[in-house]
Amino acid sequence: MLTRRLTLSLLSASAIAPGSAFAKTPKVLSWDDLIPQGVPYGEIIGQGEMDVATDQWSPIFDENASKLNEELNGALVKIPGFIIPIEQSSKGVTQFMLVPYVGACIHTPPPPANQLVLVDAKKPWPNDKLWDAVWVSGTLRTQLQSTDLGETGYALRASAMEVYEW
């Protein structure tokens, strides 16, 4: 039986340390959320040019391609995407680029920087699940970085990952 004193103590403890009483829920993002409000996607990619040698179209990005949604800086988020490995071992992938569609940066020109997320995973993602769509949760930072695969606009420290279920 709870006494009045015990009940008040429990309520006081949860008011002082709400983070320990309730876990934070990540904000679920779509790829459109990474583009700042008022910047239409159609204005990010210019005309582009055809590389005759490789028979591939290369987009020309304007200054809107590197505009980031600063409201998301430091936010706990959950975003779906596909993995392009950067650091990989027999235990799995620990650093990768999260991209909005299969083959981005490998079979096609990379999307603009504000559509690419550089992810560092605490726990390696299994090598046998690299083709699966994934949910990645963690703290998102607005941070332009260059990699061999493309320029990324965001960095995310993954605290959790799971297969994306359709």
pLDDT single digits (tens) 73-103: 999 999 999 999 999 999 999 999 999 988 7
User: Is 43 a domain residue?
Assistant: no
How far is it, in rounded angstroms, from Cα 7 to Cα 16?
14
Give the number of domains in the chain. 1
User: Is 153 a domain residue?
Assistant: yes
Write out the E strands in the chain: 27-28, 49-51, 56-58, 76-89, 92-99, 117-125, 134-146, 151-163
User: Is 20 a domain residue?
Assistant: no
Mean pLDDT of 93-115: 86
Split at pLDDT 50, 70, 90, the class of 58 is confident
User: Is 90 a domain residue?
Assistant: yes
User: Is 15 a domain residue?
Assistant: no
DSSP string, 99-121: ESSTTBTTTBPPPPGGG-EEEEE
Domain that holds residue 128: 26-34+68-163
Split at pLDDT 50, 70, 90, the class of 64 is confident
How far is it, in rounded angstroms, from Cα 60 to Cα 153?
16
| Residue 16 pLDDT > 70 | no
How far is it, in rounded angstroms, from Cα 40 to Cα 106?
25
CATH number at residue 113: 2.40.50.870
